[in-house]
Amino acid sequence: MKKIVISTGGGDAPGLNAVIYAVVHACHLRGWEVYGSRSGYGGLLDPDELRRLTLADVDGIYATGGTILGSTNKGNPFSMPVENLAGEIQVVDISDKIIRNFKRMGFDCHIAIGGDGSLAIAQQFFEKGMSVIGVPKTIDNDLEATDRTFGFDTAVSTATEALDKLHSTAKSHDRVMVVEVMGRESGWIALYSGISGGADAIFLPEIPFDIDCLCNKISDNELHDKDYAIVVVAEGASARGGKVVSKGRGELGREEVILGGIGEWVAEQIRQRTKKDTRSLVLGHLQRGGSPTTFDRLLALRFGAAAVRLVEEGGYGRMVALSGSGMVSVPLIDAIKSRKKVDLTSDKVLTAREIGICLGD
């Protein structure tokens, strides 16, 4: 008999519930108990935030977006900012309390589903003595050591569908439409959706862009009787010599800045330089919503089942991963060392160039 606690951390991604579904089923088959911790480590701080998960609790959830456990991307337990009575912000470390509760409650393993931030915290807990297994999640697909994270395929499908829809309105008005997509410092969502959605230009964080290159592309389109254009801009992209555009840190306890604004900046440059009617839109959290695609559902279910097999083998401090078409496990530390960037020599980048997409260089 084993007692497992499962948590979802960081920004939500379609497929989280499918992982939970697979973990609960695979544990049930083995006669093990699974508990869900609310909002990351909430259940290991407050028993009210912990709930036993039965087959009935997870019925049908594999097909739903979001997470039944709730999630948060603020409040790292190792450096948690709290406001004291005098209104000052103090940084406290509550990790010892979490470890104590984990042991006191008799858990054998924590299955942490997260992106680089949550998995880095999971690694710190592993180093402090907690038995941890990681499951890679993020729509950004920027985790090292796995060929794919779940959530990415759904986000790309949503972005591609949006681009498909923008074509008709852009064409009707002879307009340039600039679409800002998520992805932080990696251009995976921009590249995959831009190629699949017929973009004229795609700006990635990996290639600082030259705005003149885009304006030349728009003029070139016109020479070929195409009076509209679709431009995809990753939120982390920046102009050559320019800076990444952000909205600051946002809520207390949040570790990463909120990116956004580069799409409108690009649109304004196009307006000024080409005098073309130009509009921008930010797809934002639409990319995180909705039910997971078949690909993400299957990947998430496979990750969940593989995580339980890893518990059985005692593979603590490791993360389940996709390698080629198979499930493997890798040290958690390998997954968080750096963010996976688009390989500029990959065939996808070559494809973009060969079908005439401007990449800003």
Minimum Å distance from CB 243 to ligand F6P? 16
Q: Is 259 in the site for ligand F6P (CB under 6 A)?
A: yes
- Nearest Cα neighbor of 113 from 253, 308, 294 is 308
Active-site choice (140, 142, 200, 296)? 140
Are 7 and 36 in contact by the 8 Å Cβ rule? The answer is yes
Pairing of strands 109-114, 278-282: unpaired
**Consecutive H or E run containing 100:** helix 95-104
Cα separation, 134 vs 157, whole angstroms: 25
Site track 47-66 with ligand F6P (rule: CB under 6 A), x = hit: --------------------
Q: Which residue is nearest to ligand F6P (CB)?
A: 182
Q: Is 138 in the site for ligand F6P (CB under 6 A)?
A: yes
Nearer to ligand F6P, 109 or 202 (CB): 202
Site of tokens 């008999």:
1
Site track 286-305 with ligand F6P (rule: CB under 6 A), x = hit: --x-----------------
Pairing of strands 109-114, 132-136: parallel
| 96 is known as an active-site residue | no
Q: Is 73 in the site for ligand F6P (CB under 6 A)?
A: yes
Minimum Å distance from CB 85 to ligand F6P? 28
Stretch that binds ligand F6P, among 24-32, 122-130, 156-164, 182-190 (CB under 6 A): 182-190
Site track 220-239 with ligand F6P (rule: CB under 6 A), x = hit: ---------------x----
- Nearest Cα neighbor of 31 from 62, 60, 3, 59 is 3
Torsion of CA 333, 152, 179, 172, to 10 degrees: 170
Cα separation, 342 vs 357, whole angstroms: 16
Which parts of 110-129 interact with ligand F6P (CB under 6 A)? 115
- Residues with a catalytic annotation lie at 140
Q: Which residues bind ligand F6P (CB under 6 A)?
A: 11, 73, 115, 138-140, 182-184, 235, 258-259, 288
